[in-house]
Amino acid sequence: MITIDNYLDNHYIHRSNWLRAAVLGANDGIISISSLAIGVAAASNTREPIMLATVAGLVAGALSMAAGEYVSVSSQTDTEKADIAREIIELEQMPEEELQILAQIYEKRGLTKATAQQVAIELTAKDALGAHVRDELGINEISQANPIQAALASGAAFTVGGILPLLVILWAPLKNIEYAMYGFTIIFLMILGTIAAKTGGSDIKKAILRITVWGTIAMGLSAGVGYLFGVHV
């Protein structure tokens, strides 16, 4: 039975914040570490430089991803808090104007003018700030930013994604290792696209196509840099 307490269980929107960060982190981990390895492998005759570059890239990338996600999402949180503080002042200084704004919002959504006015009055009496934050600013418990959650999801996903190409480097034959790396990376990206699509309830084929096309472009450019400079280490 669907109630107000569980109506979101069958939807995917409440996963959007952490899912976005996790998919970004895993995708970046797979593509950036694979591209790095392919670029070094194209200019190297031994496994050690590839391993060193990959491990260094994995550690630096995971930390950078987590820190960057935390800073960017914190900026969004700061903006939300600033807008809420501004809304508090406006409610104190011009409550009637704010009431009319709320009524106009509901009217634009399809309510009659009289009904919109009544709804605005009742919601203002119940929780004026909550009504304005939700309906005027568009901030709610689902869309509200969570820096810690985003940072952990992004950093952990990058690490998992980056470890996969590292395993290929450890076990794949050194000869033509870049081709093995490319092949396995495409498989990893297809798996990621499938998991992301199923978790988010989106189209699997579209997700796989999008992620593999851009992954191929990134790895191709990285290999091209290695061949272009032709420096053997």
pLDDT, one tens digit per residue, over 66-87 is 999 899 889 988 988 999 999 9
Q: Look at residue 226 in the predicted model and tell me its pLDDT.
A: 59
Q: Is residue 129 part of a domain?
A: yes
Q: Look at residue 233 in the predicted model and tell me its pLDDT.
A: 40
**Cβ–Cβ contacts within 10 Å for residue 115, how many?**
13
Does 11 or 113 have the greater pLDDT score?
113
Burial class of residue 82 in the structure, from the number of CB atoms within 10 Å of its CB (0-12 exposed, 13-18 middle, 19+ buried): exposed
Q: Is residue 7 part of a domain?
A: no
Q: Look at residue 31 in the predicted model and tell me its pLDDT.
A: 87
Q: Average of pLDDT values for 30-56?
A: 85
Who contacts 86 (Cβ-Cβ below 8 Å, separation ≥6)? none
Measured between alpha carbons, how far is 154 from 157 in angstroms, rounded to an integer? 5
Q: Look at residue 177 in the predicted model and tell me its pLDDT.
A: 84
CB of 68 within 8 A of CB of 208?
Answer: no
pLDDT band at 160 (very low <50, low <70, confident <90, very high): very high
Q: Is residue 5 part of a domain?
A: no
Its pTM stands at: 0.74
How many domains are contained in the chain?
Answer: 1
Q: Is residue 64 part of a domain?
A: yes
Q: What percent of the chain has pLDDT over 70?
A: 86
Q: Average of pLDDT values for 46-58?
A: 90
Each as own residue / partner, the long-range contacts of residues 87-92 (CB below 8 Å, 24 or more positions apart, any chain) are 87/129, 87/132, 87/133, 87/136, 87/137, 88/129, 91/128, 91/129, 91/132
Q: Look at residue 80 in the predicted model and tell me its pLDDT.
A: 87
Q: Is residue 111 part of a domain?
A: yes
Q: Look at residue 7 in the predicted model and tell me its pLDDT.
A: 45
Q: Is residue 180 part of a domain?
A: yes
List the domain range (segments joined by +) for residue 21.
14-229
Degrees (nearest 5) of the Cα angle 108, 112, 114? 120
Length of the chain as a residue count: 233
Q: Is residue 118 part of a domain?
A: yes
Query: How far is CA 163 from its chain centroid?
Result: 19
Measured between alpha carbons, how far is 147 from 79 in angstroms, rounded to an integer? 13
Tally the C-alpha atoms within 13 A of residue 81's C-alpha that lie toward its C-beta: 8
Q: Is residue 34 part of a domain?
A: yes
Q: Which of 14-23, 118-127, 140-149 has the highest mean pLDDT?
A: 118-127
List, for residues 132-155, the tens digit of each pLDDT value. Answer: 998 988 887 766 668 888 888 889
List, for residues 169-203, the tens digit of each pLDDT value. Answer: 888 888 878 788 888 989 998 998 888 788 777 78
Integer angstrom CA distances of residue 204 from 54, 87, 207, 212, 218: 30, 41, 5, 12, 21
